[in-house]
Structure 1
Amino acid sequence: MTSIEFSYSLNQLSGVLKPFALKLTRDLDDANDLLQDTMVKAFTNQDKFAEGTNLKAWLYTIMKNTFITNYQKMVRRATFVDTTENLHFINSSASLIENSAYGDFAIDDIYRAIDKLDDIFSTPFLLYYRGFKYHEIADRLSIPIGTVKNRIHIARKHLKEDLMVYKHVN
């Protein structure tokens, strides 16, 4: 393939490559730059193209590799490496002071909500909360396992309603 034929083929395929460049970069100007870089690389490396192979696939490969290389360069440029010795700690958990008053209020509210439940709901719920399995609770209370699951479900539902004030608290 002569240089003129190769140049003509590149020109014909540039329209097919533009959507791929746009997909990679997600920006029209960057896509145009990527397309131009791809065409320059293809033209300067024309001797590496094996005639009879798929030129379009070769160009796609050049474009993809160019995009990856440019992306890696951009990431490296944007990466800041701090080589100074760390003599201070910002937002260090070692100097964090936690105010447990809010947590104490929440725990008190939870226990009050559990105390308001009927015993038939609170007992299975508390056993489950303490780590007992459904079948262990059923054996201990001498009730069917389905009843245990139902009572725990109802207890959770009531607690959810009573503790709605804590729904959006982080």
Structure 2
Amino acid sequence: MTTLEFSYSLNKLSKTLKPFALKLTRDMDDANDLLQDTMVKAFTNKDKFADGTNLKAWLYTIMKNTFITNYQRMVRRGTFVDTSDNLHFINSGSVVIENDAFGEFAMKDITKAIDNLDDVYKTPFMMHYKGFKYHEIADKLDIPIGTVKNRIHIARKLLKDELQVYITKN
């Protein structure tokens, strides 16, 4: 195969290689770089390609091996790659130390919210929180099981409304 024919074949197959590069890298810019590296390696090693064999499979192998080599090099360097949109976490350590202040504020607010509940709702809610089953609460308080479920549901709803500031939205 002449150099011109080889170049033409590479150019034709480059469009079919791009989805594979994107699958490997999961990033368009990195996929383009991987595709370019693959084409450069293929062209510089065209003398190693045997005529009559599958050029597409040869290119896929070069791309896969190039990706693996680049990945191993990156791991050896210990490079941290942040793929998130928020670059705030670049160079952050894997260990986060918190001082529990937020937890203490939250517990105080939760305790206060539970204390502010009417006893009709607080008693079944706290019993359920402590591990009692619905039927055990119903027997102990001498009320129907449906009433127990309803009061626990209302208590949860009231607490959710009271503690709205602690509910995270995704």
Q: TM-score range by the shorter chain?
A: 0.5 to 0.7
Letter in 2 for 1:46: F
Q: Is the 8 A contact 2:135 2:145 kept in 1?
A: yes
Q: Deviations for 1:92-132, whole angstroms, at most 9, x for unmatched residues?
A: 97xx87669x72x5544433322332222111100011122
Superposition pairs for residues 52-71 of structure 1, below 5 Å?
53-71=53-71
Q: TM-score of the superposition, structure 1-length normalised?
A: 0.63
Name the SS for the 1:143 alignment partner. Answer: coil
1:39 is the counterpart of 2:43:
yes
Per mean C-alpha deviation after superposition, the further-off stretch among 142-151 and 65-74 is 142-151
Question: 2:33 & 2:166 partners in 1: Cα distance?
Answer: 49
Q: CA deviation at 1:11?
A: 2.8
Which amino acid is 2:49 matched to? Q
Q: Which residue of 1 aligns with 2:131?
A: 131
Identity %: 52
Q: Relative to structure 1, is the Cα distance of residues 9 and 142 closer, same or farther in structure 2, using a 3 angstrom cutoff?
A: farther
Structure number with larger C-alpha Rg: 1
The match for 2:13 is 16
In the TM superposition, residue 56 of structure 1 has moved relative to its aligned partner by 1.5
CA RMSD between the two structures:
3.5
Is 1:122 aligned to 2:122, yes or no?
yes
Offset, 1:157: 1.3
Change (3 A) 1:33 1:106: closer
Kindly indicate whether the alpha-carbon contact (under 8 Å) linking 1:18 and 1:31 is maintained by their aligned counterparts in 2.
no
User: For residues 156 and 37 of structure 1, do their structure 2 counterparts lie closer, same or farther at Cα, with a shift above 3 Å needed?
Assistant: same
Report the Cα distance in structure 1 between the residues aligned to 2:107 and 2:66, rounded to whole angstroms.
Answer: 58
Q: 1:57 to 1:7 in 2, by over 3 A?
A: farther
8 Å Cα contact 1:134/1:148 also seen in 2: yes
* Cα distance change of structure 1 residues 37 and 149 upon mapping to structure 2, 3 Å threshold: farther
Please report the TM-score for the alignment, with normalisation by the length of structure 2. Answer: 0.63
Q: Which residue of 2 aligns with 1:143?
A: 143
Counterpart-to-counterpart distance in 2, 1:7 and 1:140 = 90
How far apart are 1:33 and its partner, in Å?
A: 2.7
In 2, Cα distance between the equivalents of 1:97 and 1:115? 26
Q: Per-residue displacement from partner, 1:133-161 (whole Å, max 9, x unpaired)?
A: 22322332233433322211110111222
Greater mean deviation of Cα atoms: 120-129 or 154-163: 154-163
Seen in structure 2, the aligned counterparts of structure 1 residues 156 and 98 have a Cα distance that, compared at 3 Å, is: closer
Cα contact 1:34–1:67 (8 A) shared by 2: no
